[in-house]
Amino acid sequence: MKHITCIEDLRELHRRRVPKAFFDYADRGSYAEQTLRANREDLEQIKFRQRVLVDVSRRDLSTTILGEPAAMPLILAPVGLLGMQHGDGEIHACRAAQAAGIPFTQSTMSICSIEDIAAAVDKPFWFQLYVMKDRGFVRALIERAAAAKCSALVLTVDLHVHGQRHRDIKNGMTVPPELRLNNLIDIATKPAWALSIARGKRKTFGNIVGHHPGMSGVTVLSKWVAEQFDPTLSWKDVEWIKSLWPGKLILKGILDVEDARAAVKNGAAALVVSNHGGRQLDGAPSSISALPAIADAVGGDLEVMFDGGIRSGQDIARAVAIGARSCMSGRAYIYGLGASGEPGVSRAIEIMRNELDITMALMGITRIADIDRSTIVNWPTRQPYEKG
Ligand SMILES: Cc1cc2nc3c(=O)[nH]c(=O)nc-3n(C[C@H](O)[C@H](O)[C@H](O)COP(=O)(O)O)c2cc1C
């Protein structure tokens, strides 16, 4: 792994080792991918102040995330179908996160179930909830997450309908999934991947299988999932979920100051400024351009987290400088997982950690708390959400 020096190297390995349909599922965004691109482009616009002749021999990347100590301001974001990038992918990613001292978030759409992960790791992890039309299922999931001692519930609020990803349709990642000849040929050329999937405990949505008697095959489950996303999702549901969940509630998918204020009013412990990694509302602003206004409006009332485009430790420093307390990363660690399972996720975290460490040193900074707007020379000035 020592020749893997950056996240792009892991992406390239992932591309080579995993069937195209699953690589594209991870890599691509919705519609014309304008928001996917903007997430990266706007992050890259932010430039650091280079400060010198400061003693930076002792640097500390540690912080707290929702009151818990964390080795760095990074969280592994919820990602569906991780177990299709590598067998038992959710368990591998969770173990890598816990070994690195940062939180892992399990997606509702995981291949491993909540209980599978809880049995395989030592420490609590976070659970991400999608609100499905079947509210009995939602209640059961919340109860299962509580029983598994998940330490935070991440309610995703920006996927009440599906943004279309052209590539998924072209690749046959549809509902039901299409088994095409070219997919089968592709799989035949990825033996290491096929072996890891064959060895994995499950091959379908582990949190959903068994919810209804007789509901088990991938096709039946995928169809159920596609029909279950609920366009009626509203703040009333947030209230209901809060009444069921005894712990910390994080709202993920906030991009608007007014919604951020509503999150405070509704008792969220944190929110994630996010456009779902450019996979939902194409044409929405980049997450980083939405961050300053939201951090200014509600940063004193709850923890503001950030995701969208994080591919390096430099990017973490950029988001923290602008007002994020911590960052979630999606694709960066998926690339690691696809490249080589748990060691690949560990390498992705290590790469970003080392980059953050050296970036701080070259900025003349020794503590995460000292990374603020005074340490960068510019930030996205668009404040798209203030009325009047
Ligand atoms: C392949 C893939 C699957 C995802 N699945 C989920 C999911 O199940 N639940 C969710 O809340 N977000 C999901 N997301 C969004 C991520 O949690 C996160 O918001 C996004 O990946 C951040 O952008 P980044 O990939 O540029 O870091 C997914 C993202 C990707 C790339």
Phi-psi region of 177 (alpha: psi -120 to 50; beta: other; left: phi over 0): beta
Most informative mutation of 36, 79, 326, 329 for ligand 1 (most atoms within 8 A of CB): 79
Q: For residue range 182-195, list pLDDT tens digits in order.
A: 888 999 999 999 99
Task: Find all residues with CB under 8 Å of 259, minimum gap 6, and list them.
Answer: none
How far is residue 40's CA from residue 110's CA, in Å, rounded to a whole number? Answer: 26
How far is residue 50's CA from residue 375's CA, in Å, rounded to a whole number? Answer: 8
Ligand 1 centroid from CA 53, angstroms: 40
Give the pLDDT score at 287.
97
Q: Is a pLDDT exceeding 50 seen at residue 81?
A: yes
- 247, 278, 159, 121 alpha-carbon torsion, rounded to 10°: -40
The rounded percent of the chain whose pLDDT value lies above 70 is 97
Atom of ligand 1 nearest to the CA of 105: 17
Name the pLDDT band for 210 (thresholds 50, 70, 90): confident
Name the pLDDT band for 381 (thresholds 50, 70, 90): low
* 8 Å CB contact between 218 and 176: yes
pTM: 0.97
Instruction: Taking residues 307-319, report their average pLDDT.
Output: 98
Window from 43-52, 71-80, 202-211 with minimum mean pLDDT:
202-211
Told to judge if 162 belongs to the known catalytic residues of this protein, a careful annotator would answer no
Burial of residue 169 (CB within 10 Å: 0-12, 13-18, 19+) is exposed
Break the chain down into helix, strand, coil percent, rounded to 5.
Answer: 45, 10, 40
Give the pLDDT score at 282.
98
Atom of ligand 1 nearest to the CA of 310: 27
How far is residue 161's CA from residue 212's CA, in Å, rounded to a whole number? Answer: 23
Atom of ligand 1 nearest to the CA of 109: 8
Atom of ligand 1 nearest to the CA of 25: 1
* 8 Å CB contact between 160 and 230: yes
Most informative mutation of 141, 276, 288, 337 for ligand 1 (most atoms within 8 A of CB): 276
Name the pLDDT band for 328 (thresholds 50, 70, 90): very high
Ligand 1 centroid from CA 331, angstroms: 7
Q: Give the closest residue (by CA) to ligand 1 atom 29.
A: 79
Ligand 1 centroid from CA 276, angstroms: 6
Give the pLDDT score at 369.
98
**Catalytic choice (14, 86, 92, 276):** 276
Nearest to 90 by CA among 72, 108, 66: 108
Q: Is a pLDDT exceeding 70 seen at residue 382?
A: no
Q: For residue range 110-167, list pLDDT tens digits in order.
A: 999 999 999 999 999 999 999 999 999 999 999 999 999 999 999 999 999 999 999 9
Name the pLDDT band for 383 (thresholds 50, 70, 90): low
Ligand 1 cavity residues, CB under 6 Å: 25-26, 39, 77-80, 107, 109, 128, 156, 252, 274, 276-277, 279, 307-310, 328-331, 334
The rounded percent of the chain whose pLDDT value lies above 90 is 88
Name the pLDDT band for 379 (thresholds 50, 70, 90): confident
Give the pLDDT score at 213.
76
Name the pLDDT band for 387 (thresholds 50, 70, 90): very low
Ligand 1 centroid from CA 92, angstroms: 17
Q: For residue range 243-285, list pLDDT tens digits in order.
A: 999 999 999 999 999 999 999 999 999 999 999 999 999 999 9
Give the pLDDT score at 218.
77
Ligand 1 centroid from CA 165, angstroms: 13
Q: Give the closest residue (by CA) to ligand 1 atom 26.
A: 309
Mean model confidence pLDDT for the chain: 94
